[in-house]
Amino acid sequence: MEWQDNGISSDIEDRRGGGGGFGFGGGMGIGGFILLLILSVVTGRNFLSSGGGSSDAGPEPGPSAGPVEQSAGEERDVHLISFVLDDAQKTWSQIFAAHGREYRRAKLVLYRDITSSGCGTAQASTGPFYCPEDEKVYIDLGFWRDLKRFGGDTGDFAQAYVVAHELGHHIQKLLGIEQRMRRLASQDEGEQNPLSVDLELQADCFAGVWGHSTEQRNIVHEEDIAGALRAAAAVGDDHLQKMSGRAVSPESWTHGSSAQRQEWFKRGLDGGEVNSCPTFDGKLAP
């Protein structure tokens, strides 16, 4: 992936030096990650991706109050995320403008171990997620290490895919898709999981829409795309169930299988348009 280091994005909110502001004794680490993997299978909710925070929101801390201690590798990750965040949001601004709409930029919060969000407590062990209440993406950079342990790729474009997927949820919020999905899910309990799968696969597809733009500009190449597909497969529900030693149960899926996640990412990558991503297949009325 041929990206330019343009420094830290103005849309980054860095809380890594603030200690989280809770006094809970830090995050759960890899042990908690494994626990939440098992909980994902038992409850049918994927705690390793979007929306894994708990519902007890505390006071939201501001940006990091002190200097951030980081390794050279972590600093590079921050600059890569900044590039992806700015480039993806610029791309979506152009797409929205082409359809006569105004794009509202999301923020991205970097934190360590634990912090608060508009959707509740964010913990490192839950993985990256987007909170529609405050329109922010939350990422603890330790997720890349955990993703690799579970068979994912941590190359540049694989990391970019994760950020672009979470921004895909922001697009859904701006287009009213997320709100209509939640309303429909509240009306029919049996549709909650299938609708959640549709939402997540569409976010994968929207990540591919941005990927299409990077291909056109020769920022990413074939080997980069292969890495993103491996990352998508690593967070497929069937893969997570197999990793936990349980039988694959499609009825409990909330994010889609590895094959589905790869398929919809590729659809967005090939089509490059919002209408390339009709995962709901007419289920949501405007």
In this structure, is residue 281 part of a structural domain? no
Number of domains in the chain: 1
User: Who contacts 161 (Cβ-Cβ below 8 Å, separation ≥6)?
Assistant: 207, 211, 228, 231, 232, 265
pLDDT the model gives residue 200: 94
In this structure, is residue 93 part of a structural domain? yes
- Locate tokens 């955990």: which residue? 146
Summarize pLDDT for 6-24 with one digit per residue, the tens. 999 999 999 988 644 333 3
Mean pLDDT of 68-94: 90
pLDDT the model gives residue 227: 84
In this structure, is residue 178 part of a structural domain? yes
In this structure, is residue 6 part of a structural domain? no
In this structure, is residue 286 part of a structural domain? no
pLDDT the model gives residue 153: 60
Report pTM: 0.81
**Residues 100, 219: contact at Cβ < 8 Å?**
no
**Residues 109, 131: contact at Cβ < 8 Å?**
no
* Residue 88 burial (10 A CB sphere; 0-12, 13-18, 19+): buried
Using pLDDT thresholds of 50, 70 and 90, give the confidence band for residue 89.
very high
pLDDT the model gives residue 67: 61
Containing domain of residue 66, as a range? 12-276
Q: Is 95 left (phi over 0), alpha (psi -120 to 50) or beta?
A: alpha
Q: Which residues of the chain form beta strands (DSSP E)? A: 12-14, 107-110, 114-117, 120-123, 129-131, 136-139
CA distance 169 to 92: 12
